[in-house]
Amino acid sequence: DGGITQSPKYLFRKEGQNVTLSCEQNLNHDAMYWYRQDPGQGLRLIYYSQIVNDFQKGDIAEGYSVSREKKESFPLTVTSAQKNPTAFYLCASSSRTGDRGAEAFFGQGTRLTVV
């Protein structure tokens, strides 16, 4: 089945550690996105990428890094510089080909907790 797969579903990080969240899509979408969701709040954009080997910072990129070496993969690293990383992280993708208003498709999310 086509879709977006995020792993792991739950992740625990010790203070000072870097962790990487995986996001893979088999929808052949060009654009991919990472959002952060805090309890009771909406989604805030961390990073997004429109093509391979290129990406842009979103509204809250500090303390995060990404790579886009393959079209289907867009991993997010939460670095030790991110002061408050406990949150729910959502990965999304959308097709840009011929449809400027394409909707975003989302993965199941990763819940990251600092212990």
Question: Measured from the CB of residue 103, what is the shortest distance to other proteins in angstroms?
Answer: 5
* 13-32: contacts with other proteins (CB under 8 A): 31
User: Quick check: 41 binds other proteins (CB under 8 A)?
Assistant: yes
Cα 45-99-59 angle, rounded to 5 deg: 10
Q: Are 92 and 5 in contact (CB under 8 A)?
A: no
Choose one: 14-22, 67-75, 76-84, 103-111; the region binding other proteins (CB under 8 A).
Answer: 103-111
Which residues in 30-104 belong to E strands, given as ranges?
Answer: 31-37, 43-49, 56-57, 64-66, 76-78, 87-94
Question: Measured from the CB of residue 16, what is the shortest distance to other proteins in angstroms?
Answer: 27
Nearest CB to other proteins, comparing residues 31 and 52: 31
Question: Measured from the CB of residue 110, what is the shortest distance to other proteins in angstroms?
Answer: 9
> Biggest alpha carbon distance in the chain?
45
